[in-house]
Every structure is written in C-alpha cells, then in structure tokens.
Structure 1
C-alpha cells in the first residue's frame, strides 16, 4: 500500500470527463468534441481505473471530490447515474461534510440531470459563465448565452443545489474595463457563495494562439488588464467576499476545499484521461486520448508517466502553490511535511521578497502583500529551482 509522506491515505479525488459540446477558442485542456465519442466505453474504463487505483492505494475517508473536464454535464442522465454510482462504489467512505463539486456549462443542466447529480451526491456546482455579454461569449467560442446562465442557476437551486460558483474571465479579446464591471455587477447580483475570476492566458495549441501570432487577437492593453484586476478585487471586497486565493473569492467558510488541497500540496487521486494525480510524493499523468485511455485500462493503470518528487522539488512546490493563497504558507505546515523550517531552507528568496515589499511576514507565516498579489508570478519564480543545488 502506498501512503503519503505523513502516512494518511488520500482524502481528495479529481476525476476528468473529457467531453465538450465544442472546443472553446482559448482552451488547451484535455477535451474532445462529444459527437461520436464512445462515452459509455469511457465511463466503464474510468470505473476500471478507480477499481485498480483503490486496490493499489486504498482511500481514507474522502473529504472532497471534484469532477472537471471538458464539461462533465454533457453526460446524459443515465450516463451520469452510472458514473456517480461508480464513484460511490470505489470511494464508499465519505466525510459527513464532503464537498462534491462538478463543473458545468450553462445550458447543459436540465432539471432531470441535476436531480441525478444531487441523488448521486454532488453538492457543489461550478458554472463556466466567463462573461455577461453575448458578443464576448461568441468571440471566445462559448455556445451558451446569458439567458442560459440564469436558467441553469435557477434549475440548480430548484434541484436543491445552493453551493454554486461561477467562473468569469478578464483580458478577453474586445473586452473593456466597463464590460468587466458589468459582468462583475451581474455576477454579484446572483448572490452566490463563490466566484472564480481568471485572466485569459493565450495557450499553445489553441485557436487564440494562432490568431495571436497573426496579430489578429484584439486583447486589452496591459494598463486596462491591470485596471480590470484591481476593479474585480475592490468590487469583491466591497461585496463581502474574501480573496482567499489569487483568482478565487468566497463568502467566509465557502472556499473551494478541493482546490485548497492542491494549494497546500496535499495528496489527491487523479482519475480519467489526461488527469494528474499526486500520491505519496509521486506524481502521475494519465494517457490523454479517449480511445488509448480506454484501451490502456484493459491491462492496468492508464499511465502516460509517473515519477517520484524529490524532497527539494516538493518543498519548492509547497512554496509556489501555497503562496497563491492569501493566508500564505506557514512554518508549522512546512515542518509537518518536511521536518525542516522554511527559514532554514528558503532564507534567501524569502528575505529578498520581503525586502522587495512583495511578501509580508508574521507569526511564522509568509504571505503575498497587496503589491505581491499583482506580481505573484515574480514571487513564485523565486522558488523555481531554488534548491536544485541543495
């Protein structure tokens, strides 16, 4: 049996459903257009991977499950029911207050499907809204419109699902600061417990990457993008939301516990095509293609790669992901994972960033300053490879 560095079995599960109704122009996730895909073959293969995984590494009491994609809600109600029964079979012991999240696309959540999700244990739904202007949605390849957003949220609440989140994006082609202000205002009018708001990154192997290199992607300038980020932080704060991570805002107690697992560098199972997992200081990446993944599960775990993480790399990861959170990184947690103090290991970059005014220190904790939030990547970069010569 494989166990974590602190001898606790994993308590978090990520599961990937790689199907979408279409491919968004900015998306580089492992996702495939649903038409003609062998969905049930995939779900049966996923069931096999779950079975083999828990044989190799038996689970503890599961505290968080996150189903991402793709768009998991493109599954039909009977497919969804099969999938959720698989999860319950292989991960039977759930914490009483489990957080079971599923990503959804507005327009793919009719009442019947939501009822199946609720019955299967899903209690948190995250909707990929992105913007409240139909012309922007069309321009980024989304197939829903603003009316779909309201209808989907209404359906979710009617199904008894009230732990809801929406994703918004800024820095989109042709988006102005005023447009973002309108999207934030409309999002806040929904009075949801949680919002994720990300800046557009132009990733390789996307339509936007091609357009960008042809100089045909009309992105906002840097000054406007900075104004957008400042605006969203001040708007969220004024509305009573805590910025608990660089891109995430929540009412007190409604933070995404699954994502906090990642940011605290804790173990999680990663299941499905292209999924990443981290168990017992070993990372793995699964085979990405749907049919190759299905085929691979017939003879074992569908691994593309698996490799141990050295203590040095784990320490660097701890700092880089932990500093994304507004509460920062604590020496107590660092010592619990590594048996050494943060100061002993990272004195140089920590002192340099405090001196630069990008980190604050207090009570055995380092956290980003207000200025540091704006230059987070510079701070994280200080820890990349910081220990390669240790």
Structure 2
C-alpha cells in the first residue's frame, strides 16, 4: 500500500521560520493550480496502475486558504481519481485563521477524517513575533467547530525554542493544548532554515533564542507531560493516544512508498525518489502539455536505501526490526553495521530489545548524532 501527499503552496502570510514551498495567495492562479493537481493525479494513476493508495495527506502552505468552491473541486477530484480503503486515513492541514465551519463540512462530505492544525503556541504575543496571524481564541473556535462538524481525530502542532520563549510560556502552551483533550500532538523544536526571516535575523545576531539547555528541558517537559496524560511518545516529535498515531507519517518513517503531488512535492515510488518543479508556473507548464511536472529523479542504491531505512526507522520509538531488515535487504543488520552498533550500544544511545534496535532515552535527545552514524 502507498501513501499520497498533496501540496497546497498558498499562504495569506509567510511565517518567519517556514522554509516549505509557499507563495502569497493574492494574485495566484489557484483555480488553474487545483485543476492541474487533479490532472497530475490522473496522469500518475495511468503511469502506476497497480499502486493502491492507503492514506492521503493534504499539506502546505496553507490548504485552508482554498475557498469553498476550490476545496470542493480538489476533494471531488481526489475521490474521483483514487479509491481509498474504507476508513483509510485522510488528513488535511488547517490554519485557525482560514478554517471555517463550511469548509469543515465539505471535508466531511468527501471523507476527510483527520485534521492537523498549525497552532505553534497559545501565547498571542509569541504568535505575533513568529509571524503567525491567528490568535489562541481562534484555535478554540476551530476545535469546537471541528467537533460540531463531526471530527474526532485531530492533531495540533506546537513549537518550542521560539524567540523569547520561556519554560513557563511553553508549559502553559502544553497545558492549554492538553486541555483540548485531542488524541494527537506534534511538538517540534524550532529549526533555523536557510532563506527564512529567522535565519537572517540569527546571522545578524538579532534572534534571542533559549539556550541549548533550556531547549533540552523543554523537550523533556513535553515528553513527561504527554506521558502523564496518556499520549504515547511514538516518534521523535509525535505523541498520540493508542490507535491515533498518524498512519500517513508512519509511511515515511517505515520507508514505504508514497506519491507527491503539487508544486515542490516529493515522492518515493519503486526505489526512485523524485520531486516536482517548485515555482507555480514551472509546475503548471508541463501539465498543460499532459506531462508530469517532475524535475528530478534519483534511483536509490541499495546502500542509500539501507541508510534511509535506519535513519527513518530510528525516529520511531519502536525502532528497526532486524527480521524485517534482513527480509528487505537480504543481509544482517548487526553484521552490516557491526562497528556502529557496538559503539552506540557502548555510549548507551541505542538498545537492542528483542528483535528491534531502538533509541534509548539518552539517544532520543541526541537523535541527529545517532542518525549520522548510520551514513556509510
């Protein structure tokens, strides 16, 4: 089974930390883009008639910048092109400032059954400083509207290590998030990506971030707080009640196949990683000629597939199965990475529990260091 990701690159405002492929909504050919997305999906199905899609994820950008008519058109096109399994996970990202009850009902009508909302903080002053244009009050309204529309599988994102953020600020956001009693939470540390407002401010010495120790304390607080409230830490940055783990994102972490649709989207099919043109007009042009908008393809070597299997799999708290690894690659995991594994075991960054190799609590905090060890 295969996942599918759809990218909606339009935003009403650009957040100061965001490096995803995105453009200002105003003046963009949104109708043409939606029609081209559907055409890309149809062409892809023709090229891969045997692939069955098991999960769908619409992300961005800001998917809820689409108006009701555009949203209806997109979701109709998806349902007309793909046959998702009954109760298959169908996620849509939403921002509080652009999510309405009418849009929620359209999503429900087409079988969207999971919402992922970009909240980031419940401190309105911090939201303004990071370039968000919603308020915490809008978050409460959207969650209430979503429940009224029939959604119960919802997730929100929080970010720590934000400029001027204190432990108290972050703890209050965690508390308010959990008071919503959602089944899933994604909690990320701020990453300073190139070509973002925050990256430029950092280079100028104008970005007052919490210290590395405070960042680690914030992450530890998130892990402990989520555990106390029954949300299992199932991936480096994700926490869920049992049965509410993101099935689509698990496709990535299990190193399984997925289609990527839309401007700048990435996919992985039959051992080939590919990505689409990023600029909107560059994306639209080949589709006008009934050609796929792929700009880059790379067939992964066996060694590259092995490296990705380890790096992605170790992000999950269940780690990597030695039996599955041997069946997939025809070699022993511990033999292939003998020196690396012995070193990481000695440093107490990984553990072997039964069949599985996984991060220790210490390893979770030093994940990037562990992952780099598996690059041969």
Deviation readout 1:82-108 (Å, 9 max, x if unpaired): 0001111211x2212200001110121
**Following the alignment from structure 2 to structure 1, what is the Cα–Cα distance between the partners of residues 297 and 92?**
26
Contact 1:11 1:62 in 2 (8 A): yes
Deviation at 1:222, TM superposition (A): 1.0
Question: 1:111-260, aligned counterparts within 5 Å?
Answer: 111-260=101-250
Contact 1:171 1:225 in 2 (8 A): yes
Q: Which residue of the partner structure matches residue 71 of structure 2?
A: 80
- Structure 1 SS opposite 2:49: coil
Contact 2:183 2:240 in 1 (8 A): yes
* 2:81 matches 1:90: yes
Contact 1:109 1:155 in 2 (8 A): no
- Structure 2 SS opposite 1:377: helix
- Structure 2 SS opposite 1:95: coil
**Following the alignment from structure 1 to structure 2, what is the Cα–Cα distance between the partners of residues 58 and 335?**
29
Q: Which range moves more in the overlay, 342-351 or 284-293?
A: 342-351
Contact 1:62 1:98 in 2 (8 A): no
Q: Which residue of the partner structure matches residue 293 of structure 2?
A: 302
Deviation at 1:129, TM superposition (A): 0.2
Deviation readout 1:153-212 (Å, 9 max, x if unpaired): 111111101100000000000000110000000000000000000000010010101100
- Structure 1 SS opposite 2:88: strand
Deviation at 1:350, TM superposition (A): 1.4
Q: Which of 355, 358, 371 pairs up with 2:349?
A: 358
Q: Which of 14, 22, 26 pairs up with 1:35?
A: 26
* 2:284 matches 1:285: no
- Structure 1 SS opposite 2:337: helix
Deviation at 1:48, TM superposition (A): 1.2
Deviation at 1:11, TM superposition (A): 2.1
Q: Which runs of at least 4 in structure 1 moved beyond 4 Å after TM superposition?
A: none
* 2:7 matches 1:16: yes
Deviation readout 1:249-300 (Å, 9 max, x if unpaired): 0001100010000001000011110000000000001000111101121231
Q: Which of 265, 268, 271 pairs up with 1:275?
A: 265
* 2:43 matches 1:52: yes
Q: Which residue of the partner structure matches residue 25 of structure 1?
A: 16
**Following the alignment from structure 2 to structure 1, what is the Cα–Cα distance between the partners of residues 287 and 340?**
44
Contact 1:267 1:279 in 2 (8 A): yes
Q: Which of 67, 88, 91 pairs up with 2:58?
A: 67
Q: Which residue of the partner structure matches residue 379 of structure 1?
A: 370
Deviation readout 1:43-102 (Å, 9 max, x if unpaired): 1111111111111112544321011100101110110010001111211x2212200001
Q: Which residue of the partner structure matches residue 368 of structure 1?
A: 359
Q: Which residue of the partner structure matches residue 99 of structure 2?
A: 109
Count residues in correspondence: 375
- Structure 2 SS opposite 1:94: coil
Deviation readout 1:125-154 (Å, 9 max, x if unpaired): 000000000000000000000000000111
Q: Which of 322, 330, 339 pairs up with 2:321?
A: 330
Contact 2:164 2:210 in 1 (8 A): yes
Gaps of 5+ in 1: 1-9
